[in-house]
Amino acid sequence: MGETAAVRTLAVGDLEFEVLEAGVGGSPLLLVHGYTGAKEDFRDAVVPLAAAGYWVVAPDLRGHGGSHAPESEDDYSLRHFADDVHGIVEALGWDRYDLLGHSMGGMVAQVVAMDLHAADGSDRATLDRLVLMDTCHGPVEGLDLEILQLGVELCRNEGLPKVLEVMKLFGPVFESPAHQALLERDPGFEEFEDQKFLRSSGAMWSKMAIELYDPGDRLDHLAHLDCETLVIVGDEDHRFVGPSERMAATIPNATLAVVAGAGHSPQFDHPAGWWEALYGFLGPRR
């Protein structure tokens, strides 16, 4: 029988997380989406990875998709997301795993990896391999704090639908020729993106909009990681190419894969190139 993916709910402390899962019993692999993303960002990869021998779990982070969404902005931060990842891994019963993080999820993955390095010898699971995808080690380049603050006030007063309406007047945040080509060949993709955005928590959006402007710089800490690492970035994802190059040069045992003809989401922009880079690193597990 072929592999299939299923959605289920995991309880972690007082929160519940909706996850997309396939390949139960295989080699553990956690896929973490980005800001206003969702588990469906990996919808096309979960089954092929399961067929290659992986137990693949892609959760909705708190405040995203079908997972629990605390009402207070104080309940959102990279620290909260990282603690949730630790909790999800524990709930799954994994003692070691591979971790991929995309965009903000890549920042979360860095915090998780730093935690595990600092907690050497603890009862937490071991991180075998790390994939950092279209992400950065510090503030996202090119963000305007004044505009972000205006967006936060709009969100607090009128909600995320109004924020999305205004954002559409200015075009995609991570614009690229690859993204435009994707919209032309898949007219439904914009609606897919909008639905993920609108299922996100307004409190989460408001808090993280400001935190991502200045989350601190982790580059010096990344120099101490001891797990094999792949840094993936689309060659048209200009805000993240430089940070990706720096991370790959800083993290021991790291390699850089630049996906030609891809923007901020290479798994959608150029699936074949993305898969070649990812699978070339992970390889089969059976």
Q: How far is CA 264 from the centre of its chain?
A: 11
Q: How far is CA 127 from the centre of its chain?
A: 16
- Cα gap 214→130, rounded to integer Å: 23
Annotation: CATH topology of 6-282: Rossmann fold (3.40.50)
Could you read off the pLDDT of 106-162 as tens digits, one per residue?
999 999 999 998 876 568 899 999 999 999 999 998 889 999 999 999 999 999 999
Is the pLDDT at 171 greater than 80? The verdict is no
Could you read off the pLDDT of 66-88 as tens digits, one per residue?
999 999 999 999 999 999 999 99
What pLDDT is stored for residue 120 in this prediction?
65
- Cα gap 119→228, rounded to integer Å: 17
Read off the pTM: 0.96
Residue ranges of domains in the chain: 6-282
What pLDDT is stored for residue 121 in this prediction?
56
The rounded percent of the chain whose pLDDT value lies above 90 is: 91
Is the pLDDT at 206 greater than 60? The verdict is yes
What pLDDT is stored for residue 279 in this prediction?
97
Is the pLDDT at 48 greater than 80? The verdict is yes
**Alpha carbon distances (Å) from 205 to 53, 131, 160, 164, 175:** 35, 24, 8, 11, 20
